[in-house]
Structure 1
Amino acid sequence: MNTVSGHGAADGGWTIIVPVKALDRAKSRLARALPASDRRALALAMAADVLRTCVATPGVSRVRVVTSDPDMAALARLLPVEIVPEPVDAAGRPDGDPLNAALTGAIHGVPGPVGVVTADLPELGARQLARVLTAASRHPHSIVPDHRGAGTTMAFWTGPAGARVPRFGPGSAARHLSEGGAVPLDGADPSGAAGRDVDTPEDVRALTGRAVGEATAAVLRTPSLSQRAHSAGVSATMVR
C-alpha cells in the first residue's frame, strides 16, 4: 500500500476513499458518444481531479483510492494517496459485489470520520468539498444524492464502525436513506458540483460553460475528443 507521509487519522481529520473501477470498464454509458480510448482518458482525468481536490481540502487527513487499474495506481503514487486493491476471486475477477466489498475493506479499521467520494465529479473543488464535510460532521451518516436523485456521489460516516455500511449501486440514494438512516446533504454545496457526476453523453454536454478540473479540461481539449465534443455542443475548457 502506498502510505501518506505525514498524514493519518490520528489528528482526527477525515479519511476520504475514492473508488475507481478498471478504466477499461469505466463509463460504459458513454459508449454511444465516445470510443473506448476517449472514455478511458476521460475517466482517468476526472479521477485525477477528484483525488487532487480531496488531498487539497482542509480537514482531510488521508485519501485512499480503491482501484485495480495500473494507470490509476501509477497516478496515485504521484500524490499523497494510499492505494487499496479491489478484492478479486481465485480467477482474478472482481469478487461478488466488488464496489461495496472494496469500500468496506477500505473503511475497515479507519478511526475518525470517513467518507466515500466518487471519481466522476469534474466540477468538484476543495471549497465545495469542505462545505460538504462541514455539514457531514453534524450527522452519524449522510449522503450527497446525484443530480438525478437516484444515485449517490458521496457518503459519510462519523458514527461507530459497525454502522459504516456502503450501499452504492443502482438506487443507492434510497437505500442509504431507508436502510442506513442517512441524512441527505442536498443543500451543503450551493454550486451543485458535489452532485453532478458524469455518466452519460448528456452529462458531458451539460459541462458546457462550467469550470472543471485541470486534467479533465485538458482531455476535453485533445483533438480526438474535442472534435466529438464540439459536434455535440460541448466547450468545457474552463479550468476551476
Structure 2
Amino acid sequence: MPAPSRPWAVVVPVKGGSSAKSRLADPARPALATAFALDTIMAALATVGVERVVVVTSDPVVATLVRALDPGDRVVDLVPDPGVGLDAAARAGVDRARAEHFHRVAVLLGDHPSLTSTELEIALAAAATHRGAFVPDAAGTGTAMVALAAADADPTTNFGGGSAARHAAQGLARLDLDLPGLRLDVDEVTDLEAALAVGVGQHTARALGGYPDDRAGDDPLHR
C-alpha cells in the first residue's frame, strides 16, 4: 500500500502509574498497562505514513521507556498529561501535532497490545478519505481510534463509555473495519484473553512471562 500524500501524526495518551487499567484484575496490572502502551506505540512507529508519534503522559517510567524506543528523538514527541482526564490528554496531543503543522492527526488509545502496523496503515488510509472518522472498538459501542484528516476538523475526542455514538453524532464517519488488533482495547481480563488469542506484541508477551505469540504474518514487531 503506498504511503499517503500527507503524513500522519498519531497521538497516544498513556496514563501509566499504579492507577492505570484499574479494571484489569491482574497482580501485574501496572506493568501490563505499560506494556500495552509500548506495543501500541511501536506499531505506530512502524506504520507507513506516520511521521510523528505524540505520547501524552506524566508517568516518568513510561516516558523513559518511550524515549528508548526513539533514541534519536526524531519521531516520538513527549507531551505532559494535563491531568484532567483522557479527553484533555488527547486534546493536548492533537494541539502539539497541529502546532508542528501536521494536518492529519489520529488519536489512538494506548491499550492495543495486538495492534500491527499493517492494521494501522489500513485504518489511516480509510480515514484519509473523510474529514474525520473513527474506528469503533470490538463491542461496537466504544472507540478505538479517532482520525482527523482535515486540518480544521473538530479535535474534540469524546472518549469513554458509549463514545461511538458520540463520535457519530459529532459527524465523524464510522469505519467498521475488520482489524481485530486495532479494535481490541484491553480493559478487563476477558479483553486480555481475546488479545492473546489474536497475538500480542513483544512487551506484553514479556510482561506476561513470555507468553508465546502465535500470530501469523510479516510484522516484525509481533514475532
Same-fold call, TM > 0.5?
yes
1:104 CA displacement: 1.3
Cα distance change, pair 104–202 in 1 and its aligned pair in 2 (3 A): same
Match of 1:210 among 186, 190, 198: 198
CA distance in 2, matches of 1:83, 1:138: 28
Quote the Cα distance in structure 1 between the aligned partners of 2:59 and 2:32. Answer: 14
Q: Tell me the amino acid that sits aligned with residue 112 of structure 1.
A: H
Counterpart position of 1:142: 133
Q: TM-score, normalised by structure 2?
A: 0.85
Query: Residues 236 and 143 from structure 1, CA distance in 2 versus in 1: closer, same or farther, beyond 3 angstroms?
Result: farther
1:118 is matched with 109
What is aligned with 1:14? Answer: 8
1:30 aligned partner:
24
Picking from 44, 55, 59, the partner of 1:69 is: 59
In structure 2, what residue type is equivalent to 1:125? T
Distance 2:194 2:180 in 1: 13
| Change over 3 Å in CA distance of 1:40–1:238 after alignment to 2 | farther
Stretches of 4+ aligned residues off by more than 3 angstroms: 235-239
User: What is the rounded CA distance, in whole Å, between the counterparts of 1:106 and 1:121 in structure 2?
Assistant: 18
In the TM superposition, 1:167-206 aligns within 5 A as 167-178=158-169, 180-187=170-177, 190-206=178-194
Q: Is the 8 A contact 1:221 1:237 kept in 2?
A: no
Q: Which has the larger radius of gyration?
A: 1
The TM-score with structure 1 as length reference comes to 0.79
Q: What is the CA–CA distance in structure 1 between the aligned matches of 2:214 and 2:201, rounded to whole Å?
A: 8
Count of residue pairs the alignment pairs up? 203
After superposition, what is the alpha-carbon deviation per residue over 1:44-70, rounded to whole angstroms, capped at 9, x for unaligned?
111111111101100001001011111
In structure 1, distance between residues paired with 2:196 and 2:117 = 21
* Corresponding residue number in structure 2 for 1:84: 79
Q: Equivalent residue for 1:132?
A: 123
SS in 2 for 1:161: coil
> What SS class does the counterpart of residue 132 from structure 1 fall into?
helix
Confirm whether residue 108 of structure 1 aligns to residue 102 of structure 2. Answer: no
Asked if the contact 1:46–1:119 (Cα under 8 Å) also holds between the matched residues in 2, the reply is yes
Distance change (3 Å), C-alpha of 1:236 and 1:161: farther
Aligned to 1:230: none
After superposition, where does 1:144-159 map in structure 2 within 5 Å? Answer: 144-159=135-150
Q: Is the 8 A contact 2:16 2:33 kept in 1?
A: no
Partner SS for 2:18: helix
Amino acid at match of 1:129: L
Amino acid at match of 1:17: V
Shift, 1:16, TM fit: 0.2
